[in-house]
Amino acid sequence: MEESVQKLTFPALFSETLRRHGKSGAYAFAGEKPVTYEEAAVMIRAITAFLERAGVQKGDRVSILSSNMPNWGMTYFGITFMGAVAVPVLPDFSPTEVTNILEHSGAKVLFVSAGLTARIEEPRPAQLSTIIRLEDFSVIHSDIELPAFDPFAEPLTQYEVEEEDIASIIYTSGTTGRSKGVMLTHKNISFNGLRGKIIQPVGPDDRFLSVLPLSHTYENTLGLILPMLGGACVYYLRKPPTPPVLLPALEQVRPTIMLTVPLIIEKIYFNKILPAFREKFLLKILYMLPPFRKLLNAAAGKKLMKTFGGQLKFYGIGGSKLNKTVEKFLLEARFPYAIGYGLTETSPLLAGANPSRTVFTSTGPAIKDIELKINEPDRKTGEGEIWARGATVMKGYYKEPELTAEVITPDGWFKTGDLGVLDKNNNLYIRGRIKNMIVGASGENIYPEEIESVINNFRYVVESLVVEKKGKLVAYVHLNMEELENKYQNLKQDMADKWEEKKQELLDELKEYVNSKVNKFSRIYSVELQPVPFQKTATMKIKRFLYT
């Protein structure tokens, strides 16, 4: 499916998949029978016909507020195949954020899953004329009389969709606060999906297990468009991906491809794998010696592969930086992981490599036909802001021409806001967000993400956040209280003062540990307990703006 002869729009690419893989499974819940691409095509046309009846025309915005399910993707295609604009909303957005997005986008119709109807505030935005339940397409509210959904209805119009038409407006979850509507065209997303297929070929025998929200551009492009390009089948979970839900699904689906964020594999390593090597004194000593550690990690890798169903060939990690210790484990465990880099504004993928070409701590090189450069690199370190140019760069921020002009130069370079460095083989290494960087007393660049990576290696630490307070570095730390309480159960029950003392001892020990591992100007002044988990974005990045 070469784009030189193929129009880069969703309907054009889908019809090619239909021609080649129409009988192949397309979408299903884990453990259930998939609908085929042929059956999905019938449903997509019926959704377009239903939208016509609701008064939707080309260019109108139609929103989706839903957990992942087969109907999500088919509805997305039903909207975009008629040239309307899909506005996916993240399921964890608050009712106020949902209202703001519906108002700002001017959405005419909203598809909502049953569990999220409470997110729709009254009074509803004036232009929102129709609300439809996504599970069964029943009408919750409509300003006009709508007939019941007909799953075999045909659209009245034949739509011409162009490559530069906007396919989607995705509102960033924003670790910096205010959400912006990113306008992505059919070409932006299609090109990105096709480039993803070069990194990891996808075919009708592939099975994706979807664990990230489809309303996020990472899952949207690489977990919906990419599998469609190869005629692969995507399986969804009926509940959030907690271990009791995920483990049986992995056994049933036996996925070949998964797209995840670092937090998932980091939790598995720190909560399951590492404790197993610390239980026995001899194992603990052996694990500290590199030759034995490699052997033990390789054995753990085989078990991990089995846990994931035994068929995995591509385990994509993106959205934020992976812990270095965890990556070393994955490398030595011969686990088929691959790290990618991108942003909502770039549809999203900018850099990445196949598991067979993974470079330690790097995201890999720029994807084919995308230019990456380090703008004004530091003479000593080579570090600077990452700029990107190519067909994946967004059209702009919706209704925000000034904001768009701030991030896209007149000659098409997009300023990512990330600091990075390129090696001699053009592999990209991410240092952190420019906005997060702290300037030390003598002008040194301090990257909190790198200090957090050291903190998160310490036993009992679940997650951490390093901020600057009155010119000093302070670490907020969320601990695994369950594990701690199990270990010091007698203290907690019998001596409350001793229990508090033990927690403080641990924080002091942590401070000493971190300061022995980082350079002089990255040393932390104090460690403070974060009693509850940090609030996070869809890709499990901590919302820093809430804590700084």
Q: State whether 33 and 90 are in the same domain.
A: yes
**CA separation for the pair 22, 37 (Å, rounded):** 5
Q: State whether 427 and 475 are in the same domain.
A: no
CATH number for the domain harbouring residue 46: 3.40.50.12780
Cis status of the peptide bond prior to 88, with omega within 30 of 0: no
**CA separation for the pair 228, 1 (Å, rounded):** 12
The pLDDT value recorded for residue 486 is 77
Q: State whether 447 and 426 are in the same domain.
A: no
End-to-end CA distance of the chain: 47
pLDDT tens per residue across span 37-62: 999 999 999 999 999 999 999 999 99
Q: State whether 116 and 49 are in the same domain.
A: yes
Contact between residue 301 and residue 334 where contact means Cβ atoms under 8 Å apart: yes
H-helix or E-strand containing 295? helix 290-307
H-helix or E-strand containing 428? strand 428-433
The pLDDT value recorded for residue 176 is 43
pLDDT tens per residue across span 194-238: 999 999 999 999 999 999 999 999 999 999 999 999 999 999 999
Residue 214 domain-assigned (yes or no): no
Q: State whether 422 and 523 are in the same domain.
A: no
Tell me how far CA of residue 234 lies from CA of 87, 350, 379, in angstroms. Answer: 21, 23, 46
Q: State whether 502 and 444 are in the same domain.
A: yes
Q: State whether 373 and 241 are in the same domain.
A: yes
The pLDDT value recorded for residue 490 is 60
The full 3-state SS of 359-424, as one line of letters, equals CCCCCECECCCCEEEEECCCCCCCCEEEEEECCCCCCEECCCHHHHHHHECCCCCEEEEEEEEECC
* DSSP-derived pairing of the beta strands 61-65 and 109-112: parallel
- Locate the DSSP E strands across 480-513: none
State the Rg of the chain over Cα.
Answer: 24
**CA separation for the pair 431, 429 (Å, rounded):** 7
3-state helix, strand, coil in the chain (%, to 5): 40, 20, 40
Instruction: Give the domain-ending residue among 379, 414, 435.
Output: 435
**pTM to 2 decimal places:** 0.90
3-state secondary structure of 132: strand
Residue 503 domain-assigned (yes or no): yes
Half-sphere exposure of 331 (CA within 13 A, CB side): 14
Residue 316 domain-assigned (yes or no): yes
Strand order through the sheet with 166-171: 139-142, 130-133, 109-112, 61-65, 85-89, 166-171, 181-185, 396-397
With 0-12 CB in 10 A as exposed, 13-18 as middle and 19+ as buried, what is 493? exposed
Quickly count: other Cβ atoms within 10 Å of residue 445's Cβ: 17
Beta bridge partner(s), residue 438: 446
pLDDT tens per residue across span 310-323: 999 999 999 888 99
What are the two backbone dihedrals, phi and then psi, of residue 469, each rounded to the nearest 5 degrees? -135, 115
| Residues near 170 by beta carbon (within 8 Å), at least 6 away in sequence | 87, 88, 181, 182, 184, 215, 216, 217, 220, 344
Number of domains in the chain: 3
Q: State whether 268 and 291 are in the same domain.
A: yes
User: Helices (DSSP H) in 94-160: which residue ranges?
Assistant: 95-105
The pLDDT value recorded for residue 233 is 98
**CA separation for the pair 127, 120 (Å, rounded):** 14
**CA separation for the pair 174, 542 (Å, rounded):** 10
Half-sphere exposure of 276 (CA within 13 A, CB side): 12
Mean pLDDT per 10-residue run, the chain (548 residues)? 72 98 98 98 98 98 98 98 97 89 95 96 92 98 96 97 98 62 98 97 98 95 98 97 94 98 91 89 92 96 97 95 94 97 96 96 96 96 96 96 96 97 96 87 82 91 92 92 74 64 89 91 93 87 86
Q: State whether 31 and 55 are in the same domain.
A: yes
Instruction: Give the domain-ending residue among 173, 189, 205.
Output: 189
H-helix or E-strand containing 140? strand 139-142
Q: State whether 338 and 422 are in the same domain.
A: yes
What DSSP designation does 517 have? H
User: Helices (DSSP H) in 128-287: which residue ranges?
Assistant: 186-199, 217-220, 226-230, 243-253, 262-268, 274-278, 281-287
The pLDDT value recorded for residue 175 is 40
Q: State whether 259 and 277 are in the same domain.
A: yes
Q: Supply the range of the domain harboring residue 455.
A: 437-546
Contact between residue 18 and residue 37 where contact means Cβ atoms under 8 Å apart: yes
* DSSP-derived pairing of the beta strands 428-433 and 166-171: unpaired
Q: State whether 43 and 90 are in the same domain.
A: yes
Residue 2 domain-assigned (yes or no): no
Give the dihedral of Cα atoms 293, 295, 296, 301; nearest 10 deg: 120
Residue 215 domain-assigned (yes or no): no
Residue 231 domain-assigned (yes or no): no
The pLDDT value recorded for residue 447 is 86
Beta bridge partner(s), residue 130: 109, 142
Burial letters for 50-76: b for 16+ Cβ neighbours within 10 Å, e otherwise?
A: bbbbbebeeebbbbbbbbbbbbbbbbb
Distance of CA 12 to the CA centre of its chain: 26
Residue 280 domain-assigned (yes or no): yes
**CA separation for the pair 200, 194 (Å, rounded):** 10
**CA separation for the pair 501, 336 (Å, rounded):** 43
Token output for 129: 């004329």
Residue 217 domain-assigned (yes or no): no
